[in-house]
Amino acid sequence: GLPLGAASLVESAAHAAGWAMFADPRLGLAVARGSGPAVAQLGTVAREAGNPISLHGTGGAWMVADGSADAEVLAHAVLHSLDRKVCNTLNVAAIVRDRADELVPVVLASLRAAAERRGTNPKLHVAEGSESFVDAAWFAPTGISRAEGVVEEPGAEPIAIVDLGTEWEWEDSPELSLVVVDSTEDAIELFNAYSPHFVASLISDDASAHERFYELIDAPFVGNGFTRWVDGQYALGKPELGLSNWESGRLFGRGGVLSGDSVFAVRTRVTQRDPGVHR
């Protein structure tokens, strides 16, 4: 176990308490969980104090289905990526145009099934240019579960392409953005331009497509199924202190999962036996 005094609680919910803690020069590493402006501000406070910082950053996973995607695999991947709202929850689904007539209904059925499991209605955001692939009934008013309660609003709404980068912080109504793309490469370009550079999944039966996807996608976590596997405890069997995306650039020297057994300093020690050794 930990030595006495190694762990303590700051018994204050005030913002100032958090700022003071992250500015404490005794810190070896500051870890900020969560996402949004509050986390970014804590990161700024720590950096200004000269403290090393690990920021969780913005969450929201992306899933791409290409021309060889198996519809059943896609259905399961979407459903199991929307069980609850956390950082690795599916946020954007990108479907290639030549399979959109078949696969968009699969995505929407899984979105609705995820909502039914929670006893709610789903919320869909449709990227501009993709509206024709969504049945008009989706755009009708319905009850969406928000933090303040059930709110009457359209079940689906159009959004600009740039808004694909928005992380939907939903409460009980699963919320998802949908975009139809001409190719997997186009989906990758959208991901690299607008996503938080966090989790990307490709649903495809083409092995070479997976290799290209892995080479081109700018994300620390890449998979071929559901997105909720991105978790230190679940995927690595290690206690997770934090997750990091590549929103502010790629990490060097460590992976995106910060675990307790990876937080250490590396020292190098030499014992010279021959005093005559020289350069």
Domain map (residue ranges) of the chain: 15-57+232-260, 61-223
Secondary structure (3-state) at 93: strand
In whole angstroms, give the CA distance from residue 70 to residue 224: 11
Distance in angstroms (rounded) separating the CA atoms of residues 279 and 271: 16
What local confidence, expressed as pLDDT, does residue 192 receive?
98
Contact between 111 and 251 under an 8 Å Cβ cutoff? The reply is: no
Q: Write out pLDDT tens, residues 75-129.
A: 999 999 999 999 899 999 999 999 999 999 999 999 999 999 999 999 999 999 9
pLDDT at 138 over 80: yes
Tokens of 172: 């009980």
Tell me the average pLDDT of the chain: 92
Answer yes or no: are the C-beta atoms of 194 and 161 closer than 8 Å: yes
Cα–Cα distances in Å, from 164 out to 15, 109, 170, 182?
Answer: 30, 21, 15, 16
Residue 53 to residue 42: CA distance in whole angstroms:
9
DSSP code string of 142-187: EEEEETTEEEEEESEEEE-GGGGG-----SSS-EEEEEEESSHHHH
State how far the Cα of 7 lies from the Cα of 56, in Å rounded to an integer: 21
Which CATH code, of 3.90.870.20, 3.40.309.10, 3.20.20.70, 3.40.50.1860, is assigned to 61-223?
3.40.309.10
pTM of the predicted model as reported, rounded to 2 decimal places: 0.86
Asked if 139 and 154 count as a contact pair (C-beta separation under 8 A), the reply is yes
242 touches 33 (CB < 8 A): yes
Strand 240-243 vs strand 123-127: parallel, antiparallel, or unpaired? unpaired
Burial of residue 154, with CB atoms counted within 10 A of its CB: 0-12 exposed, 13-18 middle, 19 or more buried: middle
Is the predicted pLDDT of residue 165 greater than 70, yes or no?
A: yes
The C-alpha atoms of residue 100 and residue 123 are separated, in whole angstroms, by 19
For residues 107 and 152, what is the distance between their CA atoms, to the nearest angstrom? 23
The residue that leads in pLDDT, 263 or 218, is 218
Digit-coded pLDDT (tens) for 235-245: 888 877 777 77
The mean pLDDT of 228-250, rounded to a whole number, is 80
**Closest by CA position to 200, among listed 217, 182, 183:** 217
- d(CA 153, CA 133) in angstroms, rounded, equals 20
